[in-house]
Amino acid sequence: MLAGRRIVLGVTGGVAAFKAAYLARRLVEAGAVLRVVMTRSALEFLGPQTMAAITGTPPLTELFGPDTVSPHTELAAWADAVVVAPATAATLARMASGESDDLLVATILAFEGPVVVAPAMHTEMWEHPATRRNVAMLAGDGVRLVGPVSGALAGGDEGLGRMAEPEDVVAAVVAVLSGSDLSGWKVLVSAGGTREPVDPVRYIGNRSSGKMGNAIALAAARRGATVTLVTTAPPPHHPAITVIAVETAAEMAAAVWGAAPHSDVAVLAAAVADFRPAAPAPTKLRRSAGPPDLVLEPTPDILAGVAALRPRPFLVGFAAETGPASGASEKVAAKGVDLLIANDVTAPGAGFGGDTNAVTVLTPAGAVEEWPLQSKESIADRLWDRIVEVRSH
């Protein structure tokens, strides 16, 4: 999988440093050649001898020393990829601001290839606005984030902040090293919540912010796809993303159905109204006229329209559930999709508006997989990893 690929594994100072030893072993088993860089705080959590035994080379710790003149540029020139796992809040901050006063961040700054980062910290630290800013900045710089996920944390706490499992970090490394693995793909993504006018002032809407769809579109663009993003929300900026701004379900249907026949993959993450006012009032409804008789009619089923195309793109639907995804498995068959991503929008940290999501991935063959709470960027990349895997079989 990674035969002969040269990887710098940066280990920083958190309790999850013990997982770095297992990650190093998995990378070596996959055929990678590793050089390990440990920060001073990492040495408080993990013995360098452990990493030396796993990789066959003692870890590097210092930017200055008698052995080489410029260890960071030598490592950067040598490596095919840099992985930071676990990445503490402090390391994310220093990476985001380019504070290169230790060997690890200096190496990352001198390195021009792919960087994979697996953050690990307490929930409060992960959710702090400073960390949110740094993570957004790193994602904008093209850094591949894996996790964190929800689970047991240091000191007996539970929550979002646990380092992703080493297998998921290895999968991300494989994905980034396969280069622009979506190169040549034409991808269609829908995002945001539709707004169905009641009168020129008011509408029936929903709580979708567009963040999930935006993350999916941006991840696809970064991985080499040409993306059409049909959205009601402010879009991300990337030269490979063409934005079609819409407002209503009818406008979204027209845009999606127009682009779908020319797309290889369609991911419909938008929250589309199922019903709309049959006859929106042409002028503002007045309170003095009393409550209006609002007659609703169904909106077009956009997903069904794409599913009926022959040939049709590889189709991914989302399902917003208000509880566990039990009903969602019927939707896989009923909607005619290749993958259905169900999210319980009532679960803490999941669904509408926030920066995180937890999803259940369902296939037509009946496979069910839980992806625990993690950033929407991380879900997006994992989704593309899965689509690449399914489409290549």
> Among residues 224, 176, 181, which one has the least CA distance to residue 27?
176
Strands 368-375 and 296-298: unpaired
Residue 303 lies near ligand PMT (rule: CB under 6 A): yes
Q: Closer CB to ligand PMT, residue 63 or residue 136?
A: 136
Binding mask 351-390 for ligand PMT (x = CB under 6 A): xxx-------------------------------------
Cβ contacts of 389 within 8 Å, gap of 6 or more:
none
Residue of 141, 157, 274, 330 that binds ligand PMT (CB under 6 A): 274
Tokens coding 178: 């396969």
Binding mask 241-270 for ligand PMT (x = CB under 6 A): --------x------------------xxx
**Residue 198: helix, strand or coil by DSSP?**
coil
Annotated catalytic residue within 134, 206, 214, 343: 206
Q: Closer CB to ligand PMT, residue 126 or residue 318?
A: 318
| Span interacting with ligand PMT, options 99-107, 120-128, 196-204, 294-302, rule CB under 6 A | 294-302
- Residues in binding contact with ligand PMT, number by CB under 6 A: 26
> Among residues 331, 217, 332, which one has the least CA distance to residue 266?
217
Angle (nearest 5°) at CA 325 between 319 and 330: 75
Q: Measure the CA–CA gap between 108 and 225, rounded to whole angstroms.
A: 26
Residue 208 lies near ligand PMT (rule: CB under 6 A): yes
The least CB distance from residue 353 to ligand PMT, in Å, is 5
> Among residues 162, 166, 83, 165, which one has the least CA distance to residue 120?
162
Q: Closer CB to ligand PMT, residue 168 or residue 344?
A: 344
Residue 317 lies near ligand PMT (rule: CB under 6 A): yes
Q: Measure the CA–CA gap between 327 and 331, rounded to whole angstroms.
A: 7
| Span interacting with ligand PMT, options 29-37, 59-67, 276-284, 348-356, rule CB under 6 A | 348-356
The least CB distance from residue 321 to ligand PMT, in Å, is 7
Q: Closer CB to ligand PMT, residue 160 or residue 163?
A: 160
Q: Measure the CA–CA gap between 266 and 257, rounded to whole angstroms.
A: 10
**Residue 368: helix, strand or coil by DSSP?**
strand
Q: Measure the CA–CA gap between 381 and 164, rounded to whole angstroms.
A: 13
Direct distance between the N- and C-terminal alpha carbons of the chain, in angstroms, rounded to an integer? 16
The residue type at 259:
A
Tokens coding 135: 């993570």
Cα distances from 275 to residues 48, 195, 198, in angstroms, run 61, 10, 12
Residue of 169, 319, 332, 373 that binds ligand PMT (CB under 6 A): 319
Active-site residue flag, 214: no
Residue 235 lies near ligand PMT (rule: CB under 6 A): no
Q: Closer CB to ligand PMT, residue 355 or residue 385?
A: 355
The least CB distance from residue 214 to ligand PMT, in Å, is 8
Q: Closer CB to ligand PMT, residue 106 or residue 271?
A: 271
Using CB under 6 A, list all residues that contact ligand PMT. Answer: 208-213, 249, 268-272, 274, 299, 301-303, 317-320, 343, 345, 351-353
Active-site positions read: 206
